[in-house]
Amino acid sequence: MSQASIQRVHFDDAPAIQIDAGGYRAVIAHSVGSNMVELSRPGDGLSFLRTPENGETLRQKSQRYGLPPLFPPNRIIDGKFATPYRRYELPLNSSDGAHFMHGILHKRPWQIHSAGILENGAAEVVFLMEMGQDGEMFSYFPHEFTYELAYTLSEKGLHQQVRITNHSGEPMPLGVGFHTALRVPFHEEGREEDYRLAISVAEQWEVTPLFVSTGKLLPLSESDRALRGEGIRPTGTPYANHFTGGPMERGGKPFYGAALTDTRRNISLVYEVDPKYGHWTVWNDDGLSGFVCPEPQTWANNAPNVDAPESLTGFQLLAPGQSWHAWTRMYAERGSSGSKP
């Protein structure tokens, strides 16, 4: 297997970093939200993420492609909420101009903090977003913070580590998520009808017409119970649901995450997540666009305003001087034994 490498490239006209290691390739457009626009195994004809057509599409619709970081994830109704320390009025940036949605970090340039080959042969790149008093968010989110995003690529696949540090003197609301757009099919000769999506969901959030939580939990529907088993067909018809997370069994062990499987070839993309990502939004747009988004997030949609205990909604405050961290992994498996493709 060839030696790991890291190189500066362009995704169309957007500066990016390409990492090759262990048969995998990752391309991260750090100039547009540190969005990972490609995760693939070129030698096996596997490409796992929905890649935008060009740089302009990435800039205009970054949440529909690749792996963009959302801070905070999903919608905050009217852009308003309060903590015991202050009230927040966030800019109304949703498509209808009425709500705050997905934050801004997925559209802004990030710094390349470090890049190198590790002693074990893996390649690692660390990206950094620093928001100080002169930062774009400070006028409506008056907290100085850093968001560190580390990607390590090896024969074991992709490991992602998030670390967020509150440098301000006041507790900071913390909601983290990823709008993970998986390509269906991910095999170059695959067929959509052969794919199934399984996710470690627990209960379904009742949602309003604006797709935010009412505070009420519902049991999984009969069809959605398949998410915890053989999986559901991820495309073909429109799908949008919001769930709490809970462990399921995979390979005889507790598993938190999602698995998208090409049943004809018995190859899966496994998306394993830290249990700190306690909620899932699952969405495939119109069902006809060749992708599905299993989105891990730390809090429920509109969590700061949901009338339910914080232990349930995932709403949390990060204390001054403290750091929060969580991980995810993405890797290909063949069959139930978990062997490499």
The CATH number of the domain holding residue 116 is: 2.70.98.10
Contacts of 337 (CB under 8 A, 6+ apart): none
Q: Is residue 258 part of a domain?
A: yes
Answer yes or no: is pLDDT of 337 > 50: no
Answer yes or no: is pLDDT of 148 > 50: yes
Answer yes or no: is pLDDT of 338 > 50: no
253-255 and 248-250: which strand pairing?
antiparallel
Confidence at residue 62, expressed as pLDDT on a 0 to 100 scale: 87
Answer yes or no: is pLDDT of 248 > 80: yes
- 295: its two tokens: 């989105």
Answer yes or no: is pLDDT of 178 > 50: yes
- 204: its two tokens: 């379904």
Confidence at residue 27, expressed as pLDDT on a 0 to 100 scale: 98
Contact 163, 176 (CB under 8 A): no
Confidence at residue 281, expressed as pLDDT on a 0 to 100 scale: 97
pLDDT tier for residue 340 given thresholds of 50, 70 and 90: low
Confidence at residue 135, expressed as pLDDT on a 0 to 100 scale: 86
Contact 71, 103 (CB under 8 A): yes
Confidence at residue 341, expressed as pLDDT on a 0 to 100 scale: 53
Q: Is residue 340 part of a domain?
A: no
- Which neighbouring-strand residues pair with 8? 17
Q: Is residue 341 part of a domain?
A: no
Contact 260, 204 (CB under 8 A): no
Total residue count of the chain as it appears in this document: 341
Print the domain residue range for 156. Answer: 5-334
Comparing 285 with 2, the larger pLDDT belongs to: 285
Confidence at residue 1, expressed as pLDDT on a 0 to 100 scale: 62
pLDDT tier for residue 2 given thresholds of 50, 70 and 90: confident
Q: Is residue 93 part of a domain?
A: yes
Lowest mean pLDDT among 79-88, 206-215, 236-245, 332-341: 332-341
Q: Tell me what the mean pLDDT of segment 16-41 comes to.
A: 97
Q: Is residue 339 part of a domain?
A: no
Q: Based on the number of CB atoms within 10 Å of its own CB, is 98 exposed (0-12), middle (13-18) or buried (19 or more)?
A: middle
Q: Tell me what the mean pLDDT of segment 212-240 comes to.
A: 97
Q: Tell me what the mean pLDDT of segment 276-302 comes to.
A: 97
Confidence at residue 219, expressed as pLDDT on a 0 to 100 scale: 98
Q: Is residue 45 part of a domain?
A: yes
In DSSP notation, 38-49 reads EEEEGGGTEE-B
Count how many Cα atoms sit within 13 Å of the Cα of residue 106 in the half-sphere of its side chain: 28
Q: Tell me what the mean pLDDT of segment 32-47 comes to.
A: 97
Answer yes or no: is pLDDT of 92 > 90: yes
User: Coil, strand, or helix at residue 52?
Assistant: coil
Confidence at residue 95, expressed as pLDDT on a 0 to 100 scale: 82
How many domains are there within the chain? 1
The rounded mean pLDDT for the chain is 95
Q: Is residue 223 part of a domain?
A: yes
Q: Is residue 290 part of a domain?
A: yes
Q: Tell me what the mean pLDDT of segment 282-299 comes to.
A: 97
- Which neighbouring-strand residues pair with 145? 131, 166
- 310: its two tokens: 């914080």
Answer yes or no: is pLDDT of 185 > 80: yes
Q: What percent of the chain has pLDDT over 90?
A: 93
Is omega for the bond preceding 294 within 30 degrees of 0, making it cis? Answer: no
Q: What percent of the chain has pLDDT over 70?
A: 98
